[in-house]
């Protein structure tokens, strides 16, 4: 019997001067919508390495994992199929903010004034804000 397997992804929450780093997606799904930086984990890669790599590719920032935030695994969170995302908080350690890879744009947003977000990223950010206020 063959088993279907979900894909593993990572997402990053990065604050710069209290503002959240978001990318505007350059590809479907959700092309043109904002999202957290992130992407698929490559075979043989640790999730911490994957999130740091994706942040560099999409935002131009060098960042390192500071904290683990959670796992998001709703089977319908991504229209491409079942994905499980491991979410981390990262701290910027260098680089310059510039869109790259499949990001059409990268911007900083006030947590109180966020645009409509792709995937379940609104839920992830809500959970992050709730954790900040605890």
Instruction: Quickly list DSSP for 51-78.
Output: HHHHHHHHH-EEEEEEEEEEEE--TTSS
Domain ranges of the chain: 7-133
- Domain 7-133 top-level CATH class: alpha beta
Let me know if 105 is a catalytic residue: yes
pTM more than 0.75:
yes
Catalytic-role residue among 45, 64, 105, 123: 105
pLDDT string in tens for the chain (134-residue length): 888 899 999 999 999 999 999 999 999 999 999 999 999 999 999 999 999 999 999 999 999 999 999 999 999 999 999 999 999 999 999 999 999 878 899 999 999 999 999 999 999 999 999 998 88
* Beta pairing, strands 83-95 & 103-110: unpaired
91-129 per-residue burial string, b: 16 or more CB within 10 A, e: under 16: ebeeeeeebebebeebeeeeeeebeebbbbbeebbebbe
């Amino acid at each position: 019997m063959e088993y279907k397997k979900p894909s593993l992804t990572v997402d990053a929450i990065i604050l710069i001067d209290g503002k959240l780093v978001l990318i505007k997606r350059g590809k479907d799904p959700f092309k043109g919508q904002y999202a957290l930086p992130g992407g698929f984990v490559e075979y043989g890669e640790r999730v911490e390495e994957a999130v740091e790599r994706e942040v560099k590719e999409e935002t131009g920032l060098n960042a390192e994992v500071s904290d683990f935030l959670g796992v998001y695994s709703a089977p319908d969170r991504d229209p491409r199929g079942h994905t499980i995302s491991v979410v981390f908080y990262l701290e910027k350690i260098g680089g310059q903010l510039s869109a790259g890879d499949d990001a059409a744009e990268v911007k900083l947003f006030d947590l109180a004034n966020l645009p409509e977000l792709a995937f379940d990223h609104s839920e992830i950010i809500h959970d992050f804000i709730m954790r900040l206020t605890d």
